[in-house]
Structure 1
Amino acid sequence: MNTSTSTNVSSSSVSHAQQVMNKLEDFDFPYCDEVTKYEKLAKIGQGTFGEVFKAKHRQTKKVVALKKVLMENEKEGFPITALREIKILQLLNHENVVNLIEICRTKATPFNRYKATFYLVFDFCEHDLAGLLSNVNVKFSLGEIKKVMQQLLNGLYFIHSNKILHRDMKAANILITKNGVLKLADFGLARAFSISKTSQPNRYTNRVVTLWYRPPELLLGERNYGPPVDMWGAGCIMAEMWTRSPIMQGSTEQHQLTLISQLCGSISPETWPGVEKLEFYNKLDLPKGQKRKVKERLRAYVKDPYALDLLDKLLTLDPNKRIDSDNALNHDFFWTDPMPCELAKMLSQHTQSMFEYLAPPRRRVVQQPHAGQPGHQKGMQPSAADGQYHDRVF
């Protein structure tokens, strides 16, 4: 090919590319509006999942939450994890599950290399539970704690009935509106599950759930798991309603299992038949001779005997014996005085939104305070630089 022909081909391909780009800019997405219809008001969340903003619809003035879909690692196409989250959220329509309104995008232009950014648009909730618990001025009565846990378990009952696992239960993912309605949020790690046939066990990843809320079966390498993984997280959150701080703040998987053993007793085939078959059972140093002391250790904070009994059943080592959401909702804790009572009145005293992201930096609690004086500082997420901590966390 001579030089002039080559130049012609080259310029023609450039003009063709430009035409494609121009078409892209003008392309109409009838079911995916531009995010500019919302005005961002404040950043309210940040994590590995991306950023979350409080925003307002420019015309209707409706306040929403915008969750940015992380696209950095995508060579092309839409992240499969975000697609899974969207599909699950579209399936789940319940008062105690966060509501996905729509998906919005930025316009593809030369300035963003024709790569649109996508946002999930949710109904706005004024608080998350971690933010509320980190504020010493927010005081929950026993009836209000019951209402929080009743709504949380209602949400779990609904998603588990629809064969969905949340897989990231923690106080920061529990949203509460100013009217006191609780919503399970952040389904970025959620997935559908099936009851496995004996011949073919499920092979789900065990690298899910924030470390401090991760159940012992996942820490020991279980990949054939189900709803009990969320129920363990519910137990950790329930205890936190009194301690005001995550109850087991491990810095590594090994440390987390040590803390679990010190609270829930040694992990062994006697208390948990079949545990010896799990991948890491013989590879990790599991404390021996530890007695179960869930009620004993939490009694300094939790005075209600029914609450202690439900906590004991939620924080059961063997997932096959751990209480499920249906039986938890029928527990005497919810059916004795004081009965669950609405949160709206208590929350009306607090006009500022409370989110973990907006709370001041907090040091972790490592000593047990005097009985009746629960520590209120909220622990931060552990990192490799955290160093060593006392094993007594609450």
Structure 2
Amino acid sequence: MDPESVRFMAREILILRRLDHPNVMKLEGLITSRVSGSLYLIFEYMEHDLAGLVATSGIKFTEAQIKCYMKQLLCGLEHCHAQGVLHRDIKGSNLLIDNSGNLKIGDFGLSTFFHPRQKQPLTSRVVTLWYRPPELLLGATDYGVSVDLWSSGCILAELYAGKPIMPGRTEVEQLHKIFKLCGSPSEEYWKKSKLPHATIFKPQHPYKRCIAETFKDFPFSALALLDVLLAVEPDGRGTASSALRSEVLDKFLTVLTCPATLQHVDELSCEPH
């Protein structure tokens, strides 16, 4: 393994060892290959990932399932953030689900440690494009838990819509999709944030926010949470803890009300289309 790969894997192992939560994948062990010199991380087996379930024809999540998965995602993130860890790549394929409906956050390859009171520059080249918040697209290097919350908002909308909501092909197109749906930041935000790419990408005319109109068929309580998580300015997204206190999730019991089984999914995915 090259030194850069070793450095990244060492950080991922340190992060995984710090985390211990039912909604976070647990590192079970390590295996090395004497022949290739490779190092392999061992995790428990999970039958599905959320992206695969969303893409499977014949599956439409119930509101109870959506609440179940979102509560588990946010509980996992709450633990990560409390332990000083940013995931930085929340997306459906990194959310693993077993046949009993238990969700665990996986793939901490882009994760990093952070200290809210000790600001240090972070890379903006993280988070898969469709789930990347506007401040990272604008080159921000000073950010925190809000990047994971934006991605969680994209997941929430995707679960109700049955498909990714902002599938941009380039960073420019992604930013345009975000502004078109979520509105553009306030003039005050542009001035105080001093983002590296602001002069290039700042729209000539402000965009109006239209989340409520676009997703008018979503349940009202879910729409209220989505409106917070997809705040175009990071300070408006709150925390994983505040999201868990939202009306849509506050009184929802997680595991007890999860779907009984997902074993039939393997049969569905094998059917001809």
Q: Aligned match of 1:154 in 61, 67, 75? A: 75
Q: Does 1:220 align with 2:135?
A: no
CA distance in 2, matches of 1:97, 1:88: 11
Say which of 84, 94, 98 aligns to 2:11.
84
Shift of 1:141: 1.0
Give the match for residue 383 of structure 1.
Answer: none
- Work out whether residues 202 and 225 of structure 1, in 8 Å CA contact, stay in contact via their aligned partners in 2: no
Q: Indicate the residue corresponding to 2:248 in structure 1.
A: 333
Among 177, 196, 207, the alignment partner of 1:279 is 196
TM-score by length of 2: 0.92
What amino acid is aligned across from residue 74 of structure 2 in structure 1? L
* Identity among equivalent pairs (%): 39
State the 1:262 CA deviation: 0.3
* Structure 1 residue 287, shift from structure 2 partner: 5.7
Deviations 1:329-378 (A, max 9, x none): 00010246x86563342414334597xxx999xxxxxxxxxxxxxxxxxx
1:95 shift after superposition? 0.3
* Counterparts of residues 148-187 of structure 1 (less than 5 Å): 148-187=69-108
1:308 corresponds to which of 206, 210, 223: 223
Q: Do residues 116 (structure 1) and 37 (structure 2) align?
A: yes
Larger RCO, structure (CA 8 Å, separation 6 or more): 2
Quickly say closer, same or farther: Cα 1:344–1:168, change in 2 above 3 A: same
Q: Tell me the alpha carbon deviations over residues 183-223 of structure 1, each in whole angstroms, 9 at most, x when there is no partner.
A: 000000000001145xxx42110000011100011111110
Amino acid at match of 2:153: G
Work out the CA distance in 1 between the residues paired with 2:172 and 2:200.
10
The alignment partner of 1:87 has SS state of helix
Aligned to 1:347, the other structure's residue is in SS state coil
Amino acid paired to 2:185: I
1:96 to 13, 19, 23: 23
Asked if 1:266 is matched to 2:166, the reply is no
Shift of 1:286: 2.5
- Counterpart of 2:167 in structure 1 is 249
Asked if structure 2 preserves the Cα contact closer than 8 Å seen for 1:94 and 1:158, the reply is: yes
Which AA in structure 1 matches 2:41?
A: L
Q: Which residue of 1 aligns with 2:128?
A: 210
Tell me which amino acid in the other structure corresponds to 1:97: V
Shift, 1:317, TM fit: 0.9
Cα drift, residue 153 of structure 1: 0.2
- For residue 66 of structure 2, the aligned residue among 141, 145, 148 is 145
| Counterpart Cα distance in 2 of 1:319 and 1:97 | 24
Q: 2:207 aligns with which of 247, 268, 290?
A: 290
CA distance in 1, matches of 2:149, 2:202: 25
State the match for 2:153 in structure 1.
235
TM-score, normalization: structure 1?
0.65
Q: Deviations over 1:275-297 (max 9, x none)?
A: 55111111225262321111110
In structure 2, distance between residues paired with 1:297 and 1:310: 15
Residue-by-residue CA offset, 1:217-246 (whole Å, 9 max, x unaligned): 111111011100000000000100011211
Match in the other structure for 1:324? 239
Kept in 2, the 8 Å contact 1:268–1:275? The answer is no
Helix, strand or coil at the partner of 2:237: coil
Change (3 A) 1:352 1:117: farther
Name the structure 1 match of 2:265. 350
Q: In structure 2, do the counterparts of structure 1 residues 352 and 188 end up closer, same or farther at CA, with 3 Å as the change threshold?
A: farther
Aligned length: 272
Whole-angstrom distance in 2 between the partners of 1:237 and 1:149: 8
Counterparts of 2:4 and 2:227, CA distance in 1: 46
Moved more, 99-108 or 178-187: 99-108
SS in 2 for 1:282: helix
Counterpart secondary structure, 1:278: coil
**1:82–1:321 CA distance, 2 compared to 1 (3 A):** same
Q: What is the rounded CA distance, in whole Å, between the counterparts of 2:115 and 2:63 in structure 1? A: 36
Over residues 32-63 of structure 1, what are the superposed CA-to-partner deviations in whole Å (9 max), with x where a residue is unaligned?
xxxxxxxxxxxxxxxxxxxxxxxxxxxxxxxx
SS at match of 1:116: coil
Q: Which has the larger radius of gyration?
A: 1
